[in-house]
Structures are given as C-alpha cells and as structure tokens.
Structure 1
Amino acid sequence: MEMTFWDKVVAAFQYNNVIWHNVFLTIVYIIIGIAVAVFVSACIGQIRNRKFTAERGGKSSKGFLTGFLIGLVILIFPIGLFLTLSIALGSAGSVDVSAQSVFYTHEGKSTMMTLTSEFQANSVENGITSGSSKVYAVAIQPETGKRIWKTKLLKGPSPGKKIIGVANEKAWIFDGKNLQVINKQDGKIIADEEKLAEISPTLKNQFPTNTAWYVFKDKHVLFKGLDGQVYEIDADSMKGNIKEGVNASNIFESDDLNNIQSAQGQIVASGKSDGKYFVMIGAEDVQAIQRGSELPATSSERKYVYTTSLIDKGTSTIADQTKVVDQVFLNGAFLLTPANSNDKYTYKPIESIAAPPKMPSYSDYSDTQAYLDALEAYQKALSSYQDNDSTYSNLIGRLNAWKMSTPVHIGNNATFIVEHNETTESASNILLSAVDTDKKKVLWTINTKAPSIHFTHQDSGNLVVSTSGNSEAKNILNVSLETGKTTGYNFQYNRTFSIEPN
C-alpha cells in the first residue's frame, strides 16, 4: 500500500529497530516535553502578569509572545531535522520477506510466522547508501494486521535463512549462519547451537552453515555434520545424536524449503459432473480452435472466463464455449490452493482424448486391394488423429493443464478467485477478483498495490496473501473471500492499513 507523506511522518514518531532513530526520537520527545512545560509555565506567568497589570492599570507585556515565538523556532529545527532524516533514510531502507511461512493459532486467532532480512540505512552520500542488515523472525495476525512479536536472530545479511520445521511450540530456524529454536507464541529464543550442544555433547562443533544441509522429517531436524555424518535432533525434546546407517547424499540431495507458493492455473472443473470446465483463455485461442487451426504462438494478454467441455466425441473442441462474464482479465488466471482430489472443482488431467486407430493386418484381408484400401483409410485416420492430438496437446499446454489442480473457491460455491493485472505493463499491480460462475458476475475486486505475489494461503473464509515489490508493497493481506474487504500489514513501516473492494 502506497505510503502518504503523513503516513511517513506518523511512522517517524514510532520506535523501531534503528538505534540512531530511537536515540534521536527520544531527544525530540524530551525537547517537546521541555517546550510544553515551558509553554505551560509561560501561560501561567502571563495570566498572573495580566492580572497584576490590570490591577495597577498598566499595559500588558509582549515578552510572552516573543518568548513563545523563539521557543517555537527552537522546537521546529530539531523536529524538522529529525523528520527529514527519518523519512529520507527510512525510504532508503529495505525489507526482504521470506517466501516461507508457518501458520498456527495464537490466542484464538490465525497467526503467520515468517522471516525477514532488513537493511536499515544510516546515511546516503553521492548516491551510495550505507547501513546495516539484520535477520528477524516475525509473527503477524493477518485478520487484525497487527504484529504479535519480532525477534532479532542475526546481525548481517543472510541469503540462506529458512524455517526448518515446527514441533508443538518450537520453531526451528536456520538464520543463514546459526541454528536457533524459538517459541512461536512469544518469539523468545529457547535454544541456540551452544545450548543444543550442552544438551547433547555429540553435536558440539558439528553444525554446518550450509542451508541445504538442514532438513525436517518426522518431527526431527536432520543435518549433515562437519565430519560428514548425519545428525538427528528430536524437535520437541531437543536431544540429538548421530543417525546411524544413512547416506548423507540421499537425505540432502535437494533443498526443499517447503515453501507455500502462489500458484495459478487456467482450468478448473465445473463441479457438476457434466464433463465441463471453466477455462481462462483468450478470444483468439477460442477462434483458432473453432476453426481447427493452430493456436497463436503466444497467448493473448486479454483473457475471459469460458465454460466448455474441451472434448466432444474424441475431438478437441471449444465449440460449445460460453463466456461466463464479459469482463476481460489481463493475464488472468485462477488462484490455486494445494491439490485435493476430493474437491469437486479439482481439475484432473485427461491422459488421452481418443484411442489411436488400429493399423490393419494383411492376414485379415482376402485380397491385396482390400488391404491397400484399408491401409489408405488407416493413414487418413492416423493423420486426423495426430492433428487432433496435437491440437489438444497445444490446448492443454496453453491452459497449463498437465497436472491436477484445485482452485481457491468461496465455500462450496463455484465462485473462484482470479488473479490478473491492472494494466499490461510489466510492473503492473496485481488485482484479485471473485467471479461467481453461477450468477455470472464479478462480486468484488481489490487492488493489491503490488506487482507480484509471494504466496497465498486459504484460511477458512479468508485468503492470506504475501505481496512483494518495493518496500511499500511488501505486505501481508487478509482478504475476506465473501466481501473482499482487506486488512494489511506493511513490514517496512510496521503499519496496518485497509483496502476497500470495488
């Protein structure tokens, strides 16, 4: 969400993680306190002076007004300097929010924990910004847009930070250099590598600094020690030992961060067992399929929601297509949630649209001419089959429909969330719209004010969205699926805001 100048002024008068800012802010508050005290004292003195002067019939002194103006000028200078530095250096800082998140319940509300790398600017000279970087674990309540806690894990940049796993109240985190355990309810650090080595001496001096060498399996943290052996720590008791009889290369062959990623698709099932689907596709593609010609080399940016069967009597088709709504969705796609085969709106790939024609055998025919006629007919059928299969494969490729996918939908209704762009520019803001395919209308649309989405998470009747872009676009949004009303939290300014749907 774009910050106004007033928003930045309000943020400047809040304590944060920058030492110089907090010291300067404390001095400013002291100066303001002194100024207020002096002003109140002067007011009392002026009242007494007026009363005394009135009794003696003299003129009122102008010393109060002069003193007030001088004090105001003295007060304006430090506050002006403070605001200038805070706004300028605050805008020069940056926050990198991890694509990983863990969702859990805190005091009865859904809470999200993630990691951030924050660069805090101290000076800008000749276009060069200098400052310091720190890694934090942060817990946010998306519903309220409030930060629950924030814990500093590491001083310095950390490209390899990740949440390894969670067991009960313990969150295991690798901050890029060290393994740490924190309480996910209050953010307090429970244990570090030194503490873990005290509990289990065999772990001493074995913790690696390679993020790929930490994995979480069956409520155990596994890592490849510096001696090449595999070590195992019970994620709840925090007791560890050497894991015998395993090959490190089999366990750590890939780095799976278990990220919750944003996924989009162009096809979902109708949910009515009628063999039909809802597809997000351009009008040019529809026309090409109807004509039986090849699809354009690139997909149209202007997409519509159609309902169609895709296949009619073994032939690839969108001939029975019906446009659900007239609204165009630029680069539109259905927002997906983790695949669920039991969800009636889940699209399940069709391996083949029809069986290929069977090649005739000479032994089945009484004369050569009959066989040649059958062979010619087979070749025509095979050519038609191959063309149709190619068209279907291209269509499935255009719809990104090679694997099972489940859409985000509202309740048990055929109302889907569509992700699309505000304009065709590369850095265009992403919009989210709720499309009711039964009522054939768009229920609401929100502008995320961000050019990309890190991940989405459907939480009951809400959709949690992590957006990315510039510092003002690195937000957590909590979108009501029913109304579209959105509460957001900005990591850069520790600010709560709201977005009203259209």
Structure 2
Amino acid sequence: MELTFWDRIVRAFQYDHAIWHNIFLTIIYVIAAACVFFAIRYIRGLIQKKERFSIAAFLSILIGPLVFPVILFLILSIALGGASSVTPGQNMVAFKTSDGEDAIALSTANFLANETGRYGTHGRTRYYAVALSPETGEEIWQTKLERGGEAELLGKTGDKLWYFTGNGLQVIALKSGKTLAKTTDFKGIQNQLPKQYKNYIVKNQFVYFKGLDGQFYQINPKNLTGQVAKGGIQATDFPESSVSGKRFETTQITTNPGNNQLVAFLSDKEMQSIQSGGDIETDLENERSYLYETKFVEQNKVAVSPEQKVSPQAFIAGEFILDPNKKRPPNDAFHKLTDFESQVTDTNSSSYSADYIRFARLTGGLGLSTSSKYLPLTTSKGDWLIWHCETTEMASNLKLSAFNPKTKTVSWTTDLHTSSISNTARQGDKLTLLSNGYLLEINLKNGDLKGYSFENDRFFSKKPE
C-alpha cells in the first residue's frame, strides 16, 4: 500500500491542495506546450526548406527548456509531498447517496508542508468535510471548513451534517456537500458558541451546546435557529473528552444459546490459575487465548476442563464484538450462567466464599458487565465477529475473524492493516471501520476487505487469509 518512487513521480504531476505546487505545475505545462509548439515549427521549417532533420536539435527544442524546471519541481514535490499528510477525524456518518450508493462522511486534516530540513517540517493544516465511497475510496464531495482550529464531525440531523470548526459550527448538506450555514449565520446565539468540541452534542435530531454563559442551548436543524434549551439535555450527556470515536463494545465472554453454556476466551495462564485453585486474575496483556465452552462451575467449584476447548485456533487478545442494537433479554441463560449462587447446591460450604470470589473475578475480568447488556454481533450466516491482534506487540495490527458457534469453526480471518480503530458503522453485511490512516470496508459474508489510504490517496483490496 506504500507509494513507490514511480508513484510519487506520477503524483507530482497531478494538481492537489498546495498552491505553490499547482502554480509550479501550471508553469511546467505552459513551458511544455511552448516546447511542443516550437518543435512542430522546427519540423515545418525543415520541410519547407527541405533541410536534413537533426535529432539533437529537435530534442534540444522539445526537452531542453524543461530539464531544469522539471528536475527542480520533482525534487520539491517529492520532498514536500512526502512530508505532507492527510489525517481523518475520529467520527464518521454512514449514508446513502442520491444514487443509492453507500457513502461515509467525515473530516480530514490536510497538512501541506512548505519547508523541510534539519530543523523539522513546517507548513499549514487545513480542515475539510469529505464524503467518500467505502467501496472504491472515490471522493463524492469535499468542502473546505472554516479556519479556527481542529475540526471534527459532530453528527447528522436529517439531511444535514454538523461540523465543529474550532471557532463554532458549519452545517453542510449531506448529499451535495454544500455549506448551508456558518458560525456567523447563527444570529442571536453566535456569541454563545463555545470553542471546544466536548461542549457540543447531537441528540434526538437536535444540536445542543453549553453556552459561554453557562446555559444549555439547542439549535433547530430545520430553520437553523437557536434558543436556551428548556429540557431534553443535561450535563452528563456531553462527552468527557475532547474527541472520542464510536466503537463497538467488546467482551471475552458470552453464551451459546444452542447448548446453554458460556463461551469465553481463556489464556493458558488463566487456565492454570483456575485448575490450581489459586487466586484468579485475568490476563491484561496481549496473550494467546483459546475459546472454551463451559459453565465455569462443576461440583460447586470454579472449574474448566481442557477438553472444553472448542477450537484449536489461538487468538491473541481475542474479544467478541457486541451489537449495541441487540440488548440481551432478561430471561437469557447468560444471566443464570454468570450467577455463581444459582449454580451451587451447598452455599454453606467452607469453600463457598472463596469460590464465589474466584468466580466473580473470572467473569468480571472477562467482561461480564458489558456482555450482560448486549448479544454478539452476528452476520447473516450466523457467525460471531472477533477482534484479535496479529502479534503480542502493543502496536500490533488488528485482525477480524468470523466464528460459527454451531460448527465451532472459523469461517474467515482478515488482516485489517491497522493497529487501532476509532469508529465503526454497519450497513447490512458491510462493516465500515475508520482508523488513524484508513477507511476500511469488510464484507461480512466472506471477509473480503476494501480500503482507502488517506496518506497515499490509494484504494486497495485484500482477500481473507
């Protein structure tokens, strides 16, 4: 996915966001046009005078004037182009275009280098609202955001996208990318717009913010008017951090409804502590773990048998992805299977208290609180999705696998080519992932990956392993 030297040369002769580059490139093209004109004139003169053609004279006219400016242009373009970068924001919105095609809207920070050397790289950053096709990486529209600081997508209301620009708000039409309103257009509340992302939120098709006077305000997306909020918002609704993406919830423990047992990721270290009867502490490091199908309780004690391993495949830091749209029913077997007291027959035993604590530490460390809320994210084929790492290193690339709980087999595994995911969105059997440098789309039926590299402005596709 990295650009080759030839790719960088080809990229240099394409227009981009750098003004100096576009002016220099235009001058190159003008000189080239002039060289072609004089070369053709030279040939016509030879024909009229019936003189002998000289290849050296022809090349000196056609190429000579271009040599120095082109070499200088390539040196500057490759050097500064390599120092420039495009970084996506952490938030995104999935929508359908007017043609019914899938699209993703987000913000990008485009850093354009104008100087690089021993004292570092200098330049400027401009922020844009962008809509891309996750299928091809093709740009659908791009709109320059107001200057003011770090920009980020807040969310969507109807057919409008709301962006924080560092100085206030900018509203953009979802389908066309046209700017509908800027900070100065919000008459009456303009002076109350905060300059921190965490003081804005999109909720129930309204935009709320904490005014500079300490009051909560709401903006009606239909007429873009604002007023002091009379309800529907409270301080706890606003994000605690400046920018945070939206990722799926994950857990290391869930239940297989087919046989009324728990399915959990356990490392060899965790298995040893369970079998030894000592204190149980779940692994916090990126260790190899295996899937076990068990009840965690046998003869009134915490127990897991090696024979309960359901698959020989190891997962490094494996976790099930949960579906926030599918809440776990109150009568689900999971609740009983994670209640130690309901599974033992002798609560007066001398070892009951110790085993109760061991059971609570084990299930709690595996993600009991999260898994009790939601069911696993399931594909149309009935597979569960599993995050896991490629290696035990902290910055390891992530992988995504589909596990069939009925056949207890892995249907496919795909390398995501990134070590972090900031945002996720699912549309049918397509899962879109946003990372610090890529927009990825995975076909959940077969694991095929399509991706777009923001840094290299390149689309790529990969088959599962």
Contact in 2 for aligned 1:314/1:354 (Cα 8 Å): no
- Residue by residue over 1:112-142, the C-alpha shift from the partner in whole angstroms, topping out at 9 and shown as x without a partner, is 1112222221111223111011221111221
Q: Percent identity?
A: 32
**CA separation in 2, counterparts of 1:245 and 1:393?**
40
Contact in 2 for aligned 1:487/1:499 (Cα 8 Å): yes
Which residue, 186, 210, 219 being the options, matches 1:233?
A: 219
**CA separation in 2, counterparts of 1:179 and 1:262?**
27
Contact in 1 for aligned 2:253/2:264 (Cα 8 Å): yes
- Count of paired positions: 459
- Shift of residue 76 of structure 1? 4.0
**CA separation in 1, counterparts of 2:67 and 2:309?**
62
Residue matched to 1:174: 164
TM-score by length of 2: 0.86
Letter in 1 for 2:165: D
- Residue by residue over 1:36-63, the C-alpha shift from the partner in whole angstroms, topping out at 9 and shown as x without a partner, is 44555556667x48x946xxxxxx44x2
SS class of match (1:476): strand
SS class of match (2:186): helix
Contact in 2 for aligned 1:121/1:130 (Cα 8 Å): yes
Contact in 1 for aligned 2:161/2:173 (Cα 8 Å): yes
Q: Is the radius of gyration larger for structure 1 or structure 2?
A: 1
- Shift of residue 417 of structure 1? 2.7
Q: Which moved more, 1:244-253 or 1:488-497?
A: 244-253
**CA separation in 1, counterparts of 2:305 and 2:24?**
69
Contact in 1 for aligned 2:106/2:129 (Cα 8 Å): yes
- Residue by residue over 1:410-460, the C-alpha shift from the partner in whole angstroms, topping out at 9 and shown as x without a partner, is 2141x2332222222232222223333444443333322222221222221
Aligned-CA RMSD value: 3.3
Which residue, 59, 71, 74 being the options, matches 1:68?
A: 59
Residue matched to 1:144: 136
Residue matched to 1:448: 416
Which residue, 415, 418, 438 being the options, matches 2:386?
A: 418
- Shift of residue 150 of structure 1? 1.4
**CA separation in 1, counterparts of 2:67 and 2:447?**
43
Contact in 1 for aligned 2:288/2:316 (Cα 8 Å): yes
Matched, 1:395 2:362: yes
Distance 1:65 1:225, change over 3 A: same
**CA separation in 2, counterparts of 1:244 and 1:297?**
47
- Shift of residue 185 of structure 1? 1.0
Matched, 1:135 2:127: yes
Matched, 1:283 2:273: no
Contact in 1 for aligned 2:202/2:208 (Cα 8 Å): yes
**CA separation in 2, counterparts of 1:384 and 1:342?**
32
Q: Which moved more, 1:83-92 or 1:241-250?
A: 241-250
Matched, 1:340 2:317: no
Residue matched to 2:208: 222
Distance 1:276 1:165, change over 3 A: same
Matched, 1:103 2:94: yes
Distance 1:481 1:41, change over 3 A: farther
Matched, 1:16 2:6: no
Contact in 2 for aligned 1:349/1:401 (Cα 8 Å): no
**CA separation in 1, counterparts of 2:394 and 2:236?**
41
Residue matched to 1:119: 111
SS class of match (2:317): strand
Q: Unpaired runs of 5+ in structure 1?
A: 54-59, 360-376, 469-473
Q: Unpaired runs of 5+ in structure 2?
A: none
Contact in 1 for aligned 2:2/2:456 (Cα 8 Å): no
- Residue by residue over 1:258-290, the C-alpha shift from the partner in whole angstroms, topping out at 9 and shown as x without a partner, is 842244321232231x22233222133224323
Contact in 2 for aligned 1:111/1:142 (Cα 8 Å): yes
